[in-house]
């Protein structure tokens, strides 16, 4: 018998079942080898109270978009299910009770906080026979980034809109310009 922990596989060789007394053959069953492996199946993962910082600076991509791009590059830029290492299947992954801290250069040092909506991912890696840890991380990060960006852009729009609206009638034309800037910053 051999077990390879890194790949999660096991091989049993030379397994046989002896014939009971009274039968002429020595073995009733002889198996050459049995090999097992496959993806690790995780029934549920719960992530409680994550804190997400969403930052947008000077019209560039957000910090979360940059992290996601770097993670994809680090993982070899592949989203295919090929690759070495043990694959994962996650039936349910729930992220709840999180907070998003929002900051942007347009806020001039002010930061905002808003609740992160609950995120529920199901059957990660199931249709492809398993996903690599990098693929799982990419999918989870994409879900968090997407939800945080939606919350962040909404909070920025509200905050900047109230600043412009509070400036009086002379700023009425400026509010449309600020809205365009926000959409440009957030890639919308």
Which pLDDT belongs to residue 48? 92
Burial call 103-118: b when 16+ CB within 10 Å, e when fewer: bbebbeeeebebebee
Same-domain pairing of 71 and 32: no
Same-domain pairing of 46 and 76: yes
Return the higher-pLDDT residue of 35 and 138: 138
Same-domain pairing of 20 and 91: no
- Give kind and range of the element (H or E) at residue 180: helix 172-186
Work out the pLDDT band at 76, boundaries 50, 70, 90. Answer: low
Same-domain pairing of 25 and 44: no
Whole-model pTM?
A: 0.65
**pLDDT of 135-183, one tens digit each?**
888 888 889 888 988 888 888 788 777 655 554 444 434 444 444 444 4
Same-domain pairing of 13 and 86: no
**pLDDT of 13-27, one tens digit each?**
777 777 777 777 787
Q: Which of 87-96, 132-141, 177-186 has the highest mean pLDDT?
A: 87-96
User: Which range of residues forms the domain containing residue 102?
Assistant: 40-186
Let me know how long the chain is.
188
Count of domains in the chain?
2
């Amino acid at each position: 018998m051999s077990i390879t922990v890194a790949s999660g596989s096991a091989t049993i060789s030379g397994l046989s079942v002896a014939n009971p007394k009274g039968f002429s053959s020595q073995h009733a069953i002889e198996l050459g080898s049995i090999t097992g492996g496959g993806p690790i199946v995780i029934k549920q993962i719960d992530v409680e109270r994550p804190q997400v910082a969403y930052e947008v600076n000077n019209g560039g991509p957000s910090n979360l978009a940059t992290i996601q791009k770097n993670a994809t590059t680090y993982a070899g830029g592949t989203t295919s299910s090929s690759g070495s290492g043990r694959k994962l299947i996650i039936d349910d992954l729930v992220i709840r009770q999180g907070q998003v801290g929002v900051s942007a250069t347009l806020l001039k040092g002010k930061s905002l906080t808003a609740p992160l909506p609950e995120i529920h991912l199901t059957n990660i890696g199931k249709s492809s026979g398993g996903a690599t840890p990098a693929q799982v991380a990419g999918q989870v990060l994409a879900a968090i980034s997407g939800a945080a960006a939606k919350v962040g852009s909404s909070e920025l729009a509200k905050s900047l809109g109230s600043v412009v609206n509070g400036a009086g009638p002379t700023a009425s034309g400026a509010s449309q310009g600020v809205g365009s800037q926000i959409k440009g910053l957030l890639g919308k």
